[in-house]
Amino acid sequence: MDQQHNYVGMWVTGDGFIRQELLPEGRYDEARGTKKSAYTGRYEVTGDYIYYWDDTGFTADGNFADENTLHHGGYIFYREKKN
């Protein structure tokens, strides 16, 4: 099911260690350091809130402070700028 929101794309911590891609079909893929797909699962966005259901069974949430800033899991993610 495609998500209807403006947050699809790559989100990255300031140091680049965590990269989380929100895919249009409601899945996410998170890399940590050199480990690609460290976490994968589904997500839903409701307003400015995001809810995650990881494939391993844990859940998490976060919120979008604005269109370019995501607060999740104690980290701040920034929308990756396309060149």
How far apart (Å, rounded) are the C-alpha atoms in residues 42 and 53? 5
pLDDT band at 20 (very low <50, low <70, confident <90, very high): very high
pLDDT at residue 34 tops 80: yes
Instruction: Output the pLDDT for position 65.
Output: 97
Range of weakest confidence among 4-8, 23-27, 63-67: 4-8
- pTM for this structure? 0.91
- Give the least confident one: 26-30, 41-45, 79-83: 79-83
Domain hosting 14: range is 9-79
Q: Is residue 2 part of a domain?
A: no
* Tally of structural domains, the chain: 1
Q: Looking at residue 70, which CATH number applies to its domain? A: 2.40.128.290
3 occurs within a structural domain: no
* Position 65 in a domain: yes
